[in-house]
Amino acid sequence: LGRPVFFVDDDAARDAQAQAALAAAAHAVGFEDVSFQYEPIAAAFDFERAAHQAGAPTRWMAAHLHCIGMRDLAHGKLDAAERSLRAAAAHDAAFALPHVGLSALLVRQGKPDDAIRAAQTAQSLAPDLVVAIAAAGRAYAAAGRNTDAIEQFRRALAKSPGPGLRA
């Protein structure tokens, strides 16, 4: 089954509890053998297959590299994640998601000003992309710029398509 990289950020016990609940639900509906794959990795497998076919769109290879970068970020392989995310951004200069990933990586590396720039790049490419706006909020928060962070989080909430994420 696909699962988010983190059900709960920075709380390994709650993350494990959420995965256990998902496994229990799968068993309850009849799955006998349950294993998990991070959603970005599952997407990467599909993109990898498609991206190497003749005539594949540029975005597919960029998305493949982005997924690999996010997988490496999830596993704490920060140098590898940075290489893949930067390669994804270079492969498709109009693709916002690698910049969102770079922003998250740079926050983890303790480089909030660079993270803010990466999130701003993502927003310039896709102004209404909720994850880009939220990435800016996280980067501003990491930089101690709480007023800017709150503004970005409010923007993300206002644009969020899900009713559970509205303010």
Give the separation between CA 8 and CA 18, rounded to whole angstroms: 8
pTM: 0.67
Quick one: which of 135, 129, 137 has its CA closest to 159? 129
How much is the pLDDT for 17? 86
Quick one: which of 20, 70, 12 has its CA closest to 44? 70
How much is the pLDDT for 163? 54
How much is the pLDDT for 138? 94
Cβ atoms of 58 and 91 within 8 Å: the answer is yes
* 162 burial level (CB within 10 Å; 0-12, 13-18, 19+): exposed
Q: pLDDT truncated to tens, each residue of the chain (167 aa)?
A: 667 777 777 788 888 888 888 888 878 888 888 887 767 666 666 666 666 666 667 788 888 889 899 999 999 999 999 999 999 999 999 999 999 999 999 999 999 999 999 999 999 999 989 899 999 999 999 999 999 999 999 998 888 765 554 44
Could you write out the DSSP letters of every residue in the chain? -EE-S-SSTT-HHHHHHHHHHHHHHHHHTT-SS---EEHHHHHHHHHHHHHTSTT--HHHHHHHHHHHHHHHHHTT-HHHHHHHHHHHHHH-TT-SHHHHHHHHHHHHTT-HHHHHHHHHHHHHH-TT-HHHHHHHHHHHHHTT-HHHHHHHHHHHHHH-SSGGG--
How much is the pLDDT for 107? 95
Q: Give 3's strand partners.
A: 38
